[in-house]
């Protein structure tokens, strides 16, 4: 157990490098309130854009958690290096990539168009929210299942 402690601590520190600045920038720009403002704008596409961008964010989080739980759900350890050959990852990774890119872009446009942030701060605010989210997701402990040995 003593050998895992330093590795765990360095992992937590790496994740905190995303969480702390992400939280600080999100708080400083008041990005969550800005999204609420955009969603309250029922006279324009602001509400639809906000709900769309948040939906992609929820999909991203759900897919990340699904990938983390893959060892328990399918009783296999996913090989992330050759994800294209994996039955599970070959379909999930492209959807995850699409949801990250589309969610980030739609949130940036939403914050830039329907809030007082403008597009420059919208890019920074959206990136901060995503950094905070990915940092927090990285703190979730992943289950480990030993790969079955093949007979030689």
- Could you tell me if residue 140 is left (phi over 0), alpha (psi between -120 and 50 degrees) or otherwise beta? beta
Cα 77 to the center of its chain, rounded Å: 21
Q: What is the pLDDT of residue 148?
A: 47
SS3 29: helix
CA distance 122 to 38: 12
pLDDT digits (tens, 9 = 90+) for 70-82: 888 888 777 778 8
pLDDT tens per residue, range 65-124 = 998 888 888 887 777 788 888 778 888 999 999 999 999 999 999 999 999 999 999 999
pTM for this prediction: 0.83
**pLDDT at residue 152 in the model:** 47
Dihedrals φ, ψ of 24, to 5°?
-60, -45
User: Do 46 and 142 contact (CB within 8 A), yes or no?
Assistant: no
For the chain, helix (H) and strand (E) counts, in that order, are 5, 0
């Amino acid at each position: 157990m003593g050998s895992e402690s330093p590795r765990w601590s360095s992992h937590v520190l790496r994740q905190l490098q995303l969480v702390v600045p992400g939280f600080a920038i999100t708080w400083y720009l008041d990005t969550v309130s800005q999204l609420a403002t955009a969603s309250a704008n029922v006279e324009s596409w602001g509400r639809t854009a906000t709900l769309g961008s948040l939906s992609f964010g929820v999909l991203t989080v759900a897919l990340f958690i699904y990938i983390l739980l893959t060892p328990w759900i399918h009783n296999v350890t996913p090989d992330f290096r050759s994800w294209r050959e994996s039955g599970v990852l070959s379909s999930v990774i492209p959807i995850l990539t699409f949801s990250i890119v589309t969610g980030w872009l739609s949130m940036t446009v939403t914050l830039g168009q329907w809030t007082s942030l403008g597009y420059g701060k919208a890019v920074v605010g959206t990136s901060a929210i995503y950094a905070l989210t990915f940092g927090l997701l990285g703190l979730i402990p992943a289950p480990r299942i030993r790969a079955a040995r093949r007979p030689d």
